[in-house]
Every structure is written in C-alpha cells, then in structure tokens.
Structure 1
Amino acid sequence: MKLQEQVVLITGGSRGLGLETVKAFAREGARVVINYFHSEENAYELQNQIGERAIAIRADVRNPIQVREMFAKAKKHFGSPITTIVNNALVNFKFDPVAKKDAFFIEWEDYHAQLEGAIRGALNTVQAGINDMKEIGYGRIISIGTNLFQNPVVAYHDYTTSKAALVGFTRNMANELGQYGITVNMVSGGLLKVTDASSATSEEVFQLIENTTPLRKVTDPAEVADAVVFFASPWARAVTGQNLIVDGGLVMK
C-alpha cells in the first residue's frame, strides 16, 4: 500500500519524536491520527498545520476502551480503518541522569509504570487494529525502542527494561501476524537532541555522544522519524520482526 493510501496512527504524536513522525508521514501524503493524552494544545495546533488529512484524538494508550474508541473515531472520520500504527507514546519519563533512581532505590512500581506504557500500550493499539488489518490483508506496526538496552551508558533501569521487553513483543507479533499481511518492526533511536524527555540531559552528555558517534553528531527526532516512514513504505514490504538502530552508528549490530 502506498503511503498516500495509508491511515497512520502515531501515539504520543503531539510532541518530540511523535510530532516529527506525524510531520514525516504527512509530508508523504498519508492521513495521520495524532494521538495525545495531555498535550491537547500542541495536538490541535499540529492538526491545523496539516489540514484535512489529520485528526487529533485524545486517548490514554494504557486504557483499552479509550484506544478502541480512538480507532473507531479515526475510521469514521477518514472513512477507512487505520492501516499503520506507530507506538511512540512515552509515559511519565525523563532522561535525567541526576534524578534517576539507581539500583538501590528503583522499585517494582517504577518498572511497572514503564511496562504499562510500552507493552500494554502497544498491546492495546495492536489489538484495536488487527481485525481491520486482517480483513484488508495489510498492516504496518512500528514501535519505538532505544539503543540503551544494548548499550546502557546510563542505567535507566525501568525505561530500558521496558524497551527490551518491547523487542520480544515485536518479534512475537511479527511471527503471528505475518500470515495476514501485517509487518511488525521497531525503530530504536539514541538520546535525541532535543525532545521534552531529553531536555534534562546536560550539554556535556550530548557532547560525549557526539564525540563517540561515527557521524559525529547527536541524532535528531526528524532522522528517526524518516526511518519509521521507511518501515511503512513499500520498500520495507519484506521486512518484519526487525529492530533498526538509528543513532549515527553509536551502537553497531
């Protein structure tokens, strides 16, 4: 399916990487669903910028009822079901190396909060969308990961563990859903410069990344967004179950 024919849901699509991903799909002519939870003003401003091929819908991805309602609203609005899901929403997390909890103080509740956002959120969107995808014989599911679970330069225990679990989720879904024409992949950026989540990161940390990355620059959200669009494009039609690291070569695999 051409990008212009797709209806693309981007969770957490009103800011940071989500916002750049919305822009990237809109640039290619796709219809976009801008999911938000708190950032209503940003979401509607982005919708207005894009125009009639965009709709902003509020939903907490952790809530399966709200997610199903979001899918129904999008289908009614565009007259077509969501064909492409980008699981990007990040729930209550900041990349703050000073304020983060270390091994002595991290609690199960911290892990649980990030697993709820990453795994339950992805499960809710997938289950809300796969019946329509199966019916039309086409679907694209792309989740946002991180290079930190392969190279935890900062031990963000709860966040990194949830993203590592998301790799297993991605590959199991890819194995089971491929028979219906649905691909499931993952795009893992590094620490991006700059999003709301990375705003607490010091310039010294960014400089360290820049100096040790082959491309000698910190990856920005638009660069990761373009890789997400690739997985939804016809050029990735035979790719599934993969985790593409987009970080300027900091992690090579």
Structure 2
Amino acid sequence: MGMPMQHIDRIIRSKNVFTSQDGIDTARELAIAIAGDRIVAVGKPDDVIAAAPAATPVIDYGEQFVCPGFHDAHLHFFHTSVGSSPYMLMDGGTSEVALVQHVLEFSQDLPDDAWVVTQGWRDYRWDPPEHPTKASLDAVFPDRPCVMYSGDGHTLWLNSRALEALGVTRDSEPPAGGSYDKDANGELTGIAHEAAAMQLLPRCLEWLGEDRIASAYADQMRRMAEQGITSICDMSLMPMPGCD
C-alpha cells in the first residue's frame, strides 16, 4: 500500500476490483483508499481499512465491477465538445430538403452572433442520394452564414453568405490538396473539399469565443467521466497549430 494514510478522504471496496497491475488479469476483492483526487493505497480490505483513520468513510460496492478509467487513444476533443454543445447540430439528415429544414429549426435557438454550423451529412445516404448546393441553404439563410460539415470530416457545404464572409469567390485558388466545386457556368456550388475545407473551418468557428469553448470542454469532460473515460489522446484535425 502507498502511505501515509492519515489524510484519507474515503475508501471504496468491492469484491470485483480489476487493477491491471502485476500481471493479474482477474478481478479480486480489494479496497482503494483515496485522498483528494489521488489513489494512495490499494490492497486487501481489512489492511486498507485498518491503516486509515477510524472515522474514514467506507463505500461498499458489493459485487459491482471497479476498474481503472478508460483511455481514449484517438479523440478529436474540440469537435466532440462543440458537437455535443448547443452550438452545433449533429445530424446526417435523410435528404437535402429534410436536413435543411431541421437546420432551420435548430438555428432558432442560436445566439444572434452565431454562425449556423452542423456536422454529419453524407449525401450518398440520402433519399435521393444527390449532391447538395448552396441554393437550398440560401433559401432559408439569405443573410446568416451557414456551414454544413460532412460526416466524414473532409467536406464543407456553405451558403453564399458564408462564402462571402470567408472571402471565397469563383476566382479563389484553393490550397494544395483542396478544391471548390463549380457548376457548368463556373459559379461556386458551395462545396469545399479536403484542404480547402480544413482551411476554412477554423474561421467558421471563431464566433464561439473562449468562454463558449471552455463551457463546451467542461461539459464534455463531465460526460466522459460519467462513462469512465479519464484520459485521452487529443488528435488535431485542422491544419494550423492551435485551431483545435
């Protein structure tokens, strides 16, 4: 056991504790002493309880399984947090028309300074499976930037107001590895692919600001803790350091 034990806040015990230590691959009856946010001792219940102050609370989980927290080795934490917040709609839609209608309804509760941002659409799953264009977004958002982020994370679908705010025109040169779709007349359709999409996305989210992002982070960390996820590897998605 790790000592000292005089500052123990509580002890938890269970008949099924898996520690993953010492090559032992089965759950055993153990007790865990906790001080603040640290585990300071793990051992046989009688030994741990005897070593702690007499008034230390003991929480008995009976037969319930207790194990170390999970580590998520591949998580886009920024996008997961914002996508779970009130500021981004996560929806693939069943068609272009149905998704645009849902986005319009979602937008009613957004702050006045917010861009309308969603993620999840996959046009090949729609009925009918057709490529979307800015026209359907312009019809419901003539004056507000709207950016629809694809489910595969490689494509943006933008309305005319968003393209204007971002300075993207029919004459804009996409970055290497990216492209802007155009119609037969050479006009932008509102679709940006790969590096072009990744270059624009950080600017589409600037309106969030530090306070909203911090709130989204706190909520996401709470949700992960409730699910037993206690550490992550944060995988960057956008091209420049610090964007996510």
TM-score, normalising length: structure 1: 0.28
Which of the two has greater strand per residue?
Answer: 2
The structure with the largest alpha-carbon Rg is 2
Which of the two has greater helix per residue?
Answer: 1
If asked which structure has higher relative contact order (CA below 8 Å, sep 6+), I would say: 1
TM-score, normalising length: structure 2: 0.29
